């Protein structure tokens, strides 16, 4: 085998294809709870927001927190102060919802949105038990196995490719296509991480049914949007509803 030519590149991409096939096969073979004849539970809006968010996608993971902040703003409990921080408005009665109280507690004397997100990230996992029990999402252990598969495979491929690139450079061999291949493998791993299964088929169907009965809200306007409409709409439609 020519370890610096097309034969090695073919070998490298065969390994990559095997990794991709293993990921797709494992995802296809996941046991799925029955989606038909499913008696939908009455879920709290913030649990719905957790169902609608996907932990592997960083832009949506904090949806329940953002919905709670908008609810608190609607109730005039919080505001942005002159420093640009989210702060509690003095003299306003606190909310009654436990999660909104937890968000309010993290705000304290004033924090930016990123600090609030970071402080409440673990609290979001408390919603998962209800969703797993209802068969709407997969257990965290299952998602962890997929991450291990992705990280192990990508690191192994990059070590093989990177080692060969290093040796090739020392021996003045052409390595351009191998460098490109390693970059593509890294991108593939990043993309597959966003495809780690989160909702079951039952969970996806349940969310679609709720969306079908709840129209997508227009831009958030506290003067015309009811609190229930705001929270439910944002929980089902994500940041589009905020």
Average pLDDT, the chain: 86
End-to-end CA, the chain? 58
pLDDT tens column, 159-188: 999 999 998 888 888 888 999 999 999 999
Element (H, E) at 86: strand 86-88
**pLDDT score of 136:** 93
- Domain borders along the chain are 6-30+141-193, 45-138+198-241
What lies within 8 Å, CB to CB, of 4 at 6+ separation is 164, 168, 171, 173, 174, 175
What confidence score (pLDDT) does residue 174 get? 82
d(CA 79, CA 46): 21
Distance CA 114, CA 107 (A): 11
What is the tens place of the pLDDT at every residue in 121-135?
888 888 999 999 989
Q: Using one digit for the tens of pLDDT, what is the confidence trace for 38-75?
A: 666 788 999 999 999 876 665 578 999 999 998 999 89
User: Is the model's pLDDT at 207 over the cut of 60?
Assistant: yes
* Type and span of the H or E element at 213: helix 201-213
For the chain, give the percent of residues with pLDDT over 70: 88
pLDDT digits (tens, 9 = 90+) for 82-106: 888 899 999 999 999 999 999 999 9
Contacts of 206 (CB under 8 A, 6+ apart): 38, 40, 51, 136
pTM (2 d.p.)? 0.81
In degrees, rounded to 5, the angle at the alpha carbon of residue 196 between the alpha carbons of residues 195 and 202 is 100
pLDDT of residue 132: 92
């Amino acid at each position: 085998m020519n370890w610096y030519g097309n034969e090695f590149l073919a070998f490298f991409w065969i390994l990559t294809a095997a990794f991709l096939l293993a990921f797709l096969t494992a995802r296809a073979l996941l046991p799925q709870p029955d989606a038909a004849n499913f008696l939908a539970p009455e879920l709290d809006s913030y649990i719905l927001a957790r169902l609608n968010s996907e932990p592997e996608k960083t832009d949506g993971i904090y949806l329940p927190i953002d919905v709670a902040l908008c609810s608190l703003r609607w109730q005039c409990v919080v505001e942005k102060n002159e420093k640009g921080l989210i702060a509690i408005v003095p003299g306003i009665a606190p909310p009654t919802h436990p999660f909104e109280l937890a968000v309010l507690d993290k705000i304290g004397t004033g924090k930016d949105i990123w600090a609030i997100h970071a402080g409440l990230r673990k609290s979001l996992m408390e919603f998962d038990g209800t969703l797993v029990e209802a068969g709407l999402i997969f257990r965290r252990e299952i998602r962890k196995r997929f991450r291990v598969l992705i990280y192990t495979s990508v690191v192994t491929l990059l070590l093989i490719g990177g080692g060969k690139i290093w040796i090739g450079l020392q021996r003045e061999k052409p390595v351009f296509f191998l460098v490109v291949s390693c970059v593509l493998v890294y991108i593939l791993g990043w993309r597959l991480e966003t495809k780690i299964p989160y909702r079951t088929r039952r969970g996806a169907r349940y969310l679609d049914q709720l969306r079908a009965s709840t129209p997508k809200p227009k831009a958030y306007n506290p003067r015309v949007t009811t609190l229930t409409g705001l929270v439910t709409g944002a929980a089902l439609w994500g940041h589009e509803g905020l």
